[in-house]
Amino acid sequence: MILRRFQTIAPAIVALVLTLAGPATAAGREPSAERAFLAAYDAYRAGSLVRLAREAPYLKGYVLEPYVEFWRLELQLDDPRADGAVRAFLREHAGSYLAQRLRADWLAALGRRADWRDFEQALGGLARPDLEIRCYAWSARVARGDESAYEDARAMWSVPRELPEGCRALARQMVEAGRLDVDDIWERVRLLLWDGKLSAARRVIALLPAGEAPNEGVLTQAAVAPRRLLAQLPRDLKRRPVREAFMFALTRLAREDPDEAAGVLGAKLASRLPAADTRSLWAFVATEAARDHLPEALEWYAQAGEDEGLSDEQLEWKVRAALRAGDWRSVRESIDAMSAATSHEPAWVYWYARALAALGDLRGAHAYFLMISDEPNFYGVLATEELGYTVALPKRTYVPTEQEVAQARRDPGLERALELYRLDLRGEATREWIYAIRGMNDHQLLAAAELALRAHVFDRAINTADKTTVLQNFKMRYLMPFRDLFGKWARASQLDEAWVLGLVRQESRFIVDARSGAGARGLMQLMPQTAHWVARKIGLRYRLDELADAPTNIALGTRYLKMVLDNLGHPVLASAAYNAGPRRAARWCASRPLEGAVYVESIPFRETRDYVEKVMTNTVFYAALLGQPYVPLKERLGTVPARSAERLDDVP
């Protein structure tokens, strides 16, 4: 959070600084608007109202000028004397991204101050209130005597993460008012503990009455040394604080070793627990076993009882375990037990159709495949192929007119976003862009995408073109910047160019200087140590600062991809390895050959699962754009070989 030093400076004093700010820099020259803006941004991040005011005169008439007033107000939101200026900004910039962001932050400040009258007046203009604002809204209703808000506020209680302060304050109020009892508190404690959120759970434990909280030492031991604690299992687990601590220990053990946890649960713990708690623990252990691809997972799900008692996430993992076991009846029954929203997701519609087909209901399977066959995603493409069709590019491609592009260029939000991209403030730029295109029709979206393309902001061009529903431009959705370089190095490495492009589209959206939080760089998102290893292998000399240069990055990235492919022998495994590492990709293989789509669906990491699905789907569309002969997605997925006992080559 931005430091709020000097946040109580009166607006009048800041205005005086603005008035007295000299018209020139210490060197006697006025800075450019760009330099002044970046200096103002640094001042904002440092929490300095004085430095921010010093730069403001140089930004008059600049496209990003509204940011300076926005930053000034952000630094004063906890001071009620700034409220009038906030209201004036919201009126002047109504409908803008900055107005929405300022309104949300002001509402949070009003909630912290318990200024409920102003809070409720400002709330109506916020498009999508986050959880903390919703909690403050419930608190505002309670403050004016509407106690029905307490019941609505129970929705926050099942959120499996740390609650923001506004919600924690409301929870304390609900406990004091008797609207959350001991069982409610324990329900949330268990939710957080079993999800690994120990710090958040401790804050909820503080709401328990004296004598009801678990022993802190026992809870810590359950978290860090569950085996040792479970070896000291007491005879009596009737007291809930003791029982919950030992159940928590078993969940920690299950994350490390589901097989060992199942042994402890079956031999020692189950007989001392209420039946409902035993079933919950079996469901937890079974889900961890399914993530680890243990064949016993389905057996342990059976110990958990009927599917109706499982959460959607547990049912999803039961389906994945059944897919790996070839148990199509369990696939169908478990999807039947999912909530309507989850069972209608493309993945589960597809696998439900496959289960119906495997069980002989071809007419039903056909109907379910039809439900998703027009969707240009992984399971939509597979469903289309199951119906006997090939996936082709749309017959009509819409290219926006120059008039439409000119109109997009005049959009204030897009104009600000492009200037922010030019200044390399990608985070702010992307938020401006996303807000600006909300509600645009297909014509406007494609015009905005063309505008981004001309500015070489390839990720926005792709993502914006991806949002159209009727008008399509797949050349924009599947851009091919640096085509000569990718083609050259794909051929040199004997790789499918469509696959390389599909992977890069997912890695960086063709942003040359892309950099991940982990430090991966460039178009093919190479970690420096991986790039160094590849360069040493192929005898290429380069400097670290060249890793973001397109020629160097593509040369190293394609050679690395080829090494991974040769090492693992299958493009699905190589795609998974590029995201999660070769050893993980190899470990996720089964003891027997596995259908490629089943391997992908059962990847334990959601990020990697989505990544592989998108890379392989991208490949189909890039192949079509490159004029390659059609190869069905199901054929590209093929059959993943059985897990090999041989040692992997030393590929990072």
> What's phi and psi for 373, nearest 5 deg?
-70, -20
Residues 447 and 593 placed together within one structural domain of the fold: no
Rounded Cα distance between 156 and 311, Å, is: 18
Residues 521 and 433 placed together within one structural domain of the fold: no
> What's phi and psi for 481, nearest 5 deg?
-65, 155
Structure tokens at 639: 């059959």
Residue listed under structure tokens 């990020």: 607
Helix (H, G, I), strand (E, B) or coil at 88: helix
Structure tokens at 328: 């199509």
Residues 636 and 487 placed together within one structural domain of the fold: yes
> What are the pLDDT digits (tens) for 388-432?
999 999 999 999 999 999 999 999 999 999 999 999 999 999 999
Rounded Cα distance between 589 and 584, Å, is: 9
Domain final position from 471, 502, 521: 471
Residue 151 is among the residues annotated as catalytic for this protein: no
Rounded Cα distance between 262 and 255, Å, is: 11
Residue 610 forms part of a structural domain: yes
> What's phi and psi for 341, nearest 5 deg?
-60, -45
Residue 385 forms part of a structural domain: no
With contact defined as beta carbons under 8 Å apart, do 453 and 476 qualify?
A: yes
Domain final position from 432, 449, 471: 471
Give the model's pLDDT for residue 646.
60
Residues 566 and 627 placed together within one structural domain of the fold: yes
Give the model's pLDDT for residue 30.
61
Domain final position from 423, 445, 471: 471
Residues 433 and 573 placed together within one structural domain of the fold: no
Residue 248 forms part of a structural domain: no
Residues 435 and 578 placed together within one structural domain of the fold: no
List the CATH number of the domain containing 584: 1.10.530.10
Residue listed under structure tokens 């007046």: 121
Residues 488 and 443 placed together within one structural domain of the fold: no
Nearest in space to 329 (alpha carbons), one of 300, 307, 347, 304: 307
Residue 244 forms part of a structural domain: no
* Helical spans, DSSP H, in 292-401: 297-303, 312-325, 328-337, 340-343, 346-358, 362-372, 378-386
Residue 136 forms part of a structural domain: no
Please give the residue range of the domain that contains residue 605: 483-640
With contact defined as beta carbons under 8 Å apart, do 577 and 647 qualify?
A: no
Residues 536 and 611 placed together within one structural domain of the fold: yes
Which parts of the chain sit beneath pLDDT 70? Answer: 1-30, 645-649
Give the model's pLDDT for residue 8.
43
Helix (H, G, I), strand (E, B) or coil at 595: strand
Residues 511 and 636 placed together within one structural domain of the fold: yes
Give the model's pLDDT for residue 644.
82
Give the model's pLDDT for residue 651.
80
CA 130 from chain centre, in angstroms, equals 16
β-sheet bridge partners, residue 159 = none
Residues 448 and 505 placed together within one structural domain of the fold: no
β-sheet bridge partners, residue 594 = 640
Q: Which of 132, 507, 595, 601 is catalytic?
A: 507
HSE toward the beta carbon, residue 574, CA cutoff 13 A: 24
Give the model's pLDDT for residue 18.
44
**What's the number of domains the chain is made of?**
3
Rounded Cα distance between 57 and 278, Å, is: 68
185 class by beta-carbon count within 10 Å (0-12 exposed, 13-18 middle, 19+ buried): buried
Residue 395 forms part of a structural domain: no
Q: What is the pTM of this model?
A: 0.93
Residue 36 forms part of a structural domain: yes
Residue 144 forms part of a structural domain: no
Give the model's pLDDT for residue 366.
98
Residues 565 and 599 placed together within one structural domain of the fold: yes
> What's phi and psi for 594, nearest 5 deg?
-130, 140
Rounded Cα distance between 5 and 375, Å, is: 51
List the CATH number of the domain containing 459: 1.10.1240
With contact defined as beta carbons under 8 Å apart, do 107 and 164 qualify?
A: no
Residues 124 and 66 placed together within one structural domain of the fold: yes
